[in-house]
């Protein structure tokens, strides 16, 4: 796990994260019934390039696209395609950017047109769960208090936490130690320190937590084919709290 020491490191990290944020803000405006996920991919690649960044997911372990677009029962790692979004869908958009050797990573789930009450609640709870995790990301707190906070909140609201995928340290690689599960007991794992950068990312299912990987080798879907949502921020631990960089 990286611990940012110099202003230059921190500047590059901030820039990578800023590009992620700008891309996600643009995608938020573009997501509507009628747009295809490959169009969203193309928009993202152009924007990332225009800011001097590189799409971090492209080619990562052979991933074939620039961003991940995971629709409805897809949890994460959906591959952009000709699939056209329709009213009532939900879509999780995950964007990773490399800038000057440093990585930023963030995601959110959006409604496409009018969605069900259940879908709305799933999105709201997952978004809130991320901020509950971030609230535990402070100097000297134990890592698993992030995990425990997220799981406790999500399960009290009747949803389930995906076990197969977890948050992570981030810095000069996209995925660094430590792993940050979205479940676990309190007061375990390493103590957090100012300067650490973490990607916290609850993946929350409407039904059972179980996962299946589709034949494309990437797309993770819920085994019961119920909905899933995903929110992620890259955050910097400071002396007082976590600063959201994305």
**Across-strand partners of 235?**
198, 244
Residue 105 binds Mg ion, judged by CB under 5 A: yes
Using the contact rule CB under 5 A, the part of the chain among 108-116, 122-130, 150-158, 191-199 near Mg ion is 191-199
Quick one: 117 exposed, middle or buried, by C-beta within 10 A (0-12, 13-18, 19+)?
exposed
Min separation Cβ 113 and Mg ion, Å? 27
The structure tokens listed for 220 are 């993770």
Residues 39-98 that bind Mg ion (CB under 5 A): none
d(CA 226, CA 241): 35
Min separation Cβ 34 and Mg ion, Å? 29
| Among 100, 108, 2, 69, residue whose Cα is nearest residue 219 | 69
The structure tokens listed for 67 are 């961003």
Q: Identify the three-state secondary structure at position 40.
A: helix
Min separation Cβ 114 and Mg ion, Å? 29
Residues 106-165 that bind Mg ion (CB under 5 A): none
Q: How many chain residues touch Mg ion (CB under 5 A)?
A: 3
Helices 117-135 and 144-156 cross at an angle (nearest 10°) of 150
Min separation Cβ 192 and Mg ion, Å? 17
Closer residue to Mg ion in complex, CB, 73/94: 94
d(CA 171, CA 43): 25
Candidate list 162, 196, 199, 242; residue touching Mg ion; CB under 5 A: 199
Closer residue to Mg ion in complex, CB, 60/140: 60
Min separation Cβ 199 and Mg ion, Å? 4
Residues that bind Mg ion in the complex, under the rule CB under 5 A: 105, 199, 201
């Amino acid at each position: 796990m990286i611990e940012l020491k110099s202003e230059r490191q921190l500047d590059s990290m901030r820039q990578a994260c800023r590009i992620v944020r700008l891309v996600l803000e643009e995608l938020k405006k573009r997501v509507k019934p009628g747009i295809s996920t490959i169009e969203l991919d193309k928009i993202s690649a152009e924007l990332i390039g225009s800011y001097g960044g590189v799409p971090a997911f492209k080619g990562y372990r052979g991933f074939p696209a620039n961003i991940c677009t995971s629709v409805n029962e897809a949890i994460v790692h959906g591959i952009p395609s000709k699939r056209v979004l329709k009213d009532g869908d939900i879509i999780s958009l995950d964007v990773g950017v490399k800038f000057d050797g440093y990585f930023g990573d963030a995601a959110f789930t959006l409604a496409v047109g009018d969605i069900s009450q259940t879908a709305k609640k799933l999105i709201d709870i997952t978004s809130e769960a991320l901020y509950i995790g971030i609230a535990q990301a402070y100097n000297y707190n134990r890592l698993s208090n992030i995990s425990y906070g997220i799981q406790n909140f999500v399960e009290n609201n009747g949803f389930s936490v995906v076990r197969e995928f977890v948050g992570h340290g981030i810095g000069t690689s996209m995925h660094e130690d430590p792993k940050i599960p979205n479940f676990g007991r309190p007061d375990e794992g390493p103590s957090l320190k100012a300067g650490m950068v973490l990607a916290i990312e609850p993946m929350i299912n409407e039904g059972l937590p179980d996962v299946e990987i589709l034949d494309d080798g990437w797309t993770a879907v819920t085994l019961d084919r119920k909905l899933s949502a995903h929110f992620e921020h890259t955050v910097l631990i400071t002396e007082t709290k976590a600063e959201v960089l994305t």
